[in-house]
Structure 1
Amino acid sequence: MENEEEAALSSSPNPLDVDPTLQKKHQSMLDRLTNRHQTRLGSSLTRRSAESDSSSSPSFESTSTFLSRFSNSKSSIESQLAQCRFGLSESTQVKPQLDQISSSISDLEKLVAENAYFLPSYEVRSSLKTISDLRQSLEILSSELLPKKKFAFKNKPTRKDPIFESKEQEEEKKPEKPGFRVPESPGFWNKKGEILVHKFKGSELGEFTIADLDSCEVRLTGSVRALFVHRLRNCTVYTGPVTGSVLIDGVERCVFIMASHQIRIHNAKRSDFYLRVRSRPIIEDSCGVRFAPYCLSYQGIEDELREASLDGETKNWSNVDDFLWLRAVQSPNWSILPEDERVGLVDISNSEES
């Protein structure tokens, strides 16, 4: 019908040469054709817009951007490791450069934690494996370049305690698992039945370790970049914001109240975790662990949490990922701590550093 109208228009005389009736009919044809053309044009633009929207997923763009940033950072860290290994730096610069590499790895961990909410699960796992490998490479390099600084329990008899001797003998018989070696850093070591208090100052933003404690209470206030927890029994640990990662290994019958961008728990038994965390907590080789929301208070903590981007509740404390549980149903190794068994708000404002 439309073609017939267009043909009629092309063969029709000039509207100025016809009578008013034909001129009116001619104008009506023009109006109909114009309306149809506009309708077709509008539909085409709408269809193209929809196709464009569906082909550019925000999550895809975010994942692509993350992978690019992660890859660039990984390459930079590997380059720094190679530079140290092959002696391209002066010997006096080795220790500061190793510290810088450690800081870069922690920044990479923070990048994963901040983006884990939209990343596919396999990308998170792959990224964490890469970070673990980088940290292990750094530890091996540190032991090669700074052998006198290497930490090992069996080489420091002054730090031994009878309550840990049998445990150490058991551990020495087992092959060491990568990614959970205790780094040499400031901290609390080899204590029993003590209250241990430390406040991180503004300039103190590095790593902190608590290791080989029995029946102790640890109170850490202020912000720190990374926290390492190793071989604790019957302990309670309170911490303010950790801007990078918390790595926990070998704990039993403990209570932890922690805020961090990322928390990884290995070989934990019958312990409770009150967490505020930006990414999903990760457990491995653990059983009987229970989780609840963060409940710590002390003077200035709200400002510290806000500066560390941990002021908002993420609900991730209940979104635990068991790396050794591959079934679709929830892992039996962890559970939500019943409300009637939870501690209330814990206020450590009156803590004084010993």
Structure 2
Amino acid sequence: MEGEDGSESQQSRHPAGTLDPATQKRHAAMIDRLANLHQSRLQQSAARSASSAASPAFESVAAFLTRFDESGRAVEAEIKRCRDLSVDPASAPSLKPELEKVAASIADLDRLVAENSYFLPTYEVRSSLKAISVLKEALDAANSELLPRKKFSFRNKTSKKDPICLVKEIEEEKGPSSDKRVLAAVRDSPGFRNKEGSILIKHFRVSEEEEGDFTLSGLNCCEIYLKGRLRALFIHRLTNCRVYAGPVLGSILIEEVNDCLLMLASHQIRIHHATATDFYLQVRSRPIIEDCSAVRFAPYRLFYEGIDTELRDCGLGEETRNWANVDDFKWLRAVQSPNWSLIPDEELLGTVNVSDVKEQCEDK
């Protein structure tokens, strides 16, 4: 019998057991390659199955909406229960902790939207945030009506708010008073403020109890390195700055940046009033810009020891390419917005390794 090339097959020329040593060696190598290929396919199939099993059970729009609606109705029921409790004077002492539980439930809803907005349509994200806003207003009204007002005091104790909720509050109110609310967020959180020509470094360690939200405000011609995990990041009024930040579990809110480079990783990134700025992003949801011009986008290129683990722990280990899918809320036409673009390949930065930045810059 002849093979496909017209020559006699090896099997017909060399009966089993009579193959020459060279042919036997090639035959054994071929068997090994086939076995390795089969094993590799089995491993890939098992990995795909494990990945599918590990994905959130509600990672679909319909399942998310069901969970969100159930949680929203539960919050409404809790607010009504608090109002019913207020009728009984004996229950008054328990009202404050009960209302605090309601606030925590609303914060959980905020986080639910933030953590799943990467696959939700823009309309559903906006509707969910609006529903959360209505719940917050209902809770504020209940607090005002049911809890006695505190007596005047000269002590100025700043209350800590959930950073994701604070981002939403700032975004929900636009117009002349919006700057005041941004400044409130900037004022109330730790951060770097009002510096010029400085190298600014902060390492967020897991053991730190104060790990959470952080602010960059009023910076000019500065290099900023934020290593470790944050819960929320506020960036306000930066000019000619370079920002390299580790993963942010919640949201990043950016206001008024010009001629900057920002390398950021987060579940949500909102950008307002940015000009001539490059963004290198790893983001679960589509970045949102508003009142921006000449902004450009590219994939996240930051590296330091441990960052891969931090990204995975924050749910940011997977490349979604959402950095290339930008929503311009001030551009409603079907054609591409002229306010943003992708950075050309020839202008892309390579990996920025900041593993030793502390040792190099600490004394400067």
How high is the TM-score relative to the length of structure 1? 0.64
* 1:249 aligned onto 2:251: no
* 1:194 aligned onto 2:198: yes
Q: Which residue of 1 aligns with 2:122?
A: 121
Q: Secondary structure at the match of 1:148?
A: coil
Tell me how far 1:342 sits from its aligned partner.
1.9
- Tell me, in whole angstroms, the C-alpha distance in 2 between the residues paired with 1:106 and 1:237: 28
* 1:70 aligned onto 2:68: yes
The one-letter code of the counterpart of 2:257 is V
Q: Secondary structure at the match of 1:314?
A: coil
The one-letter code of the counterpart of 2:68 is F
Q: Which residue of 1 aligns with 2:51?
A: none
Tell me if the contact between 1:279 and 1:316 (Cα under 8 Å) persists in the aligned partners: yes
Q: Which residue of 2 aligns with 1:314?
A: 320
Deviates more, 1:71-80 or 1:108-117: 71-80
Tell me if the contact between 2:59 and 2:116 (Cα under 8 Å) persists in the aligned partners: no
The one-letter code of the counterpart of 1:212 is G
Identity %: 52
1:203-214 equivalences under 5 Å are 203-204=207-208, 205-214=211-220
The one-letter code of the counterpart of 1:176 is S
Q: Which residue of 1 aligns with 2:6?
A: none
Tell me how far 1:61 sits from its aligned partner.
9.4
Q: Which residue of 2 aligns with 1:227?
A: 233
The one-letter code of the counterpart of 2:156 is K
Q: Secondary structure at the match of 1:65?
A: helix
Tell me how far 1:113 sits from its aligned partner.
3.8
Q: Secondary structure at the match of 2:156?
A: helix
Q: Which residue of 1 aligns with 2:178?
A: 176
The one-letter code of the counterpart of 1:195 is I
Tell me how far 1:335 sits from its aligned partner.
0.6
Q: Which residue of 1 aligns with 2:24?
A: none
Deviates more, 1:126-135 or 1:265-274: 126-135
Tell me how far 1:134 sits from its aligned partner.
7.0
Tell me if the contact between 1:109 and 1:245 (Cα under 8 Å) persists in the aligned partners: no
Tell me if the contact between 1:214 and 1:233 (Cα under 8 Å) persists in the aligned partners: yes
Per-residue deviation, residues 165-188 of structure 1 (Å, max 9, x unmatched) = xxxxxxxx9443687454211111
Change in CA separation of 1:124 and 1:230 when aligned onto 2, cut-off 3 Å: same
- Tell me, in whole angstroms, the C-alpha distance in 2 between the residues paired with 1:292 and 1:335: 9
Q: 1:298 aligns with which of 279, 304, 308?
A: 304
How high is the TM-score relative to the length of structure 2? 0.62
Q: Secondary structure at the match of 1:245?
A: strand
Gaps of 5+ in 2: 1-56, 160-174
- Tell me, in whole angstroms, the C-alpha distance in 2 between the residues paired with 1:136 and 1:235: 37
- Tell me, in whole angstroms, the C-alpha distance in 1 between the residues paired with 2:139 and 2:182: 13
- Tell me, in whole angstroms, the C-alpha distance in 2 between the residues paired with 1:137 and 1:177: 24
Gaps of 5+ in 1: 1-58, 152-172
Q: Which has the larger radius of gyration?
A: 1
Tell me how far 1:89 sits from its aligned partner.
7.0
- Tell me, in whole angstroms, the C-alpha distance in 2 between the residues paired with 1:212 and 1:89: 44
1:33-48 equivalences under 5 Å are none
Tell me how far 1:117 sits from its aligned partner.
4.4
1:26-65 equivalences under 5 Å are 62-65=60-63
Q: Secondary structure at the match of 1:303?
A: helix
The one-letter code of the counterpart of 2:302 is L
Tell me if the contact between 2:271 and 2:289 (Cα under 8 Å) persists in the aligned partners: yes
Q: Which residue of 2 aligns with 1:56?
A: none
Q: Which residue of 2 aligns with 1:265?
A: 271
Per-residue deviation, residues 27-78 of structure 1 (Å, max 9, x unmatched) = xxxxxxxxxxxxxxxxxxxxxxxxxxxxxxxx99933331233245456677
- Tell me, in whole angstroms, the C-alpha distance in 2 between the residues paired with 1:235 and 1:208: 17
Q: Which residue of 2 aligns with 1:331?
A: 337
RMSD between aligned alpha carbons? 4.1
- Tell me, in whole angstroms, the C-alpha distance in 1 between the residues paired with 2:132 and 2:181: 9
Tell me how far 1:131 sits from its aligned partner.
5.1
The one-letter code of the counterpart of 1:238 is Y
